[in-house]
Amino acid sequence: MSTLVVVGFPTVAEAEQVRRELVDIQKEQLIALDDAVVLEHDLEGRVHLRQALNLTAAGAVGGGFWGTLVGLLFLNPLVGAAVGAGVGALSGALSDLGLNDDFLREIGDTLPRGSGALCVLLRESAPDRVIERLRAHAPHASLLRTNLSHVDEDRLRELLERSSQQAEALRLA
């Protein structure tokens, strides 16, 4: 089962920065991300979703590959590639893997205007090590939602709070 964690930030730029750092952390195999979406509640009141993966483009690339392969078998690779890319792009656009867009927009509506949030769907994680790496952002982060058990959620809040206090102490020193 995947774990949902939604963390709010005062700016969208900071949410984007944390998402980039999570991708780097994933390369070190400390976490396994299923999805990571940055939400922006702009000053006009609109909610924007910044998906980590463009499913339409990914579908077009995959469909183009398979279409070319099928086209080679039937001696018409160009037509196969074009049809495959079109079908792949359509299936990618219709797919909603990971976090549901309507759910994300509901969360985005609760954010203050001009702020952002990072919604992460994790398959695996080492929370202590991830929080340690993201400590610099803790003073600005607030846990908005999660599907963790109450015990694990309290532990995560405690880790965020402790990191926030340590970052504040370093700032004052």
Q: Where are the domains of the chain?
A: 3-54+96-124
Residues 6+ away with beta carbon under 8 Å from 103: none
**Per-residue pLDDT band at 83 (split at 50, 70, 90):** low
Alpha carbon distance 89, 134 (integer Å): 35
Per the model's pLDDT, the better-predicted residue between 123 and 81 turns out to be: 123
pLDDT value at 90 more than 60: no
CA distances 129 to 3, 17, 82, 95, Å, are: 16, 18, 45, 33
Alpha carbon distance 16, 115 (integer Å): 12
**Can you give the pTM of this predicted structure?**
0.67
Strands 115-125 and 31-41, how do they pair? antiparallel
The conformation of residue 134, written as its DSSP 8-state character, comes to T
pLDDT tens by residue, 92-125: 444 445 688 888 999 999 999 999 999 988 888 7
pLDDT confidence of residue 139: 74
pLDDT tens by residue, 31-61: 888 889 999 999 999 999 998 754 434 444 4
Q: Which residue is associated with the tokens 């893997």?
A: 97
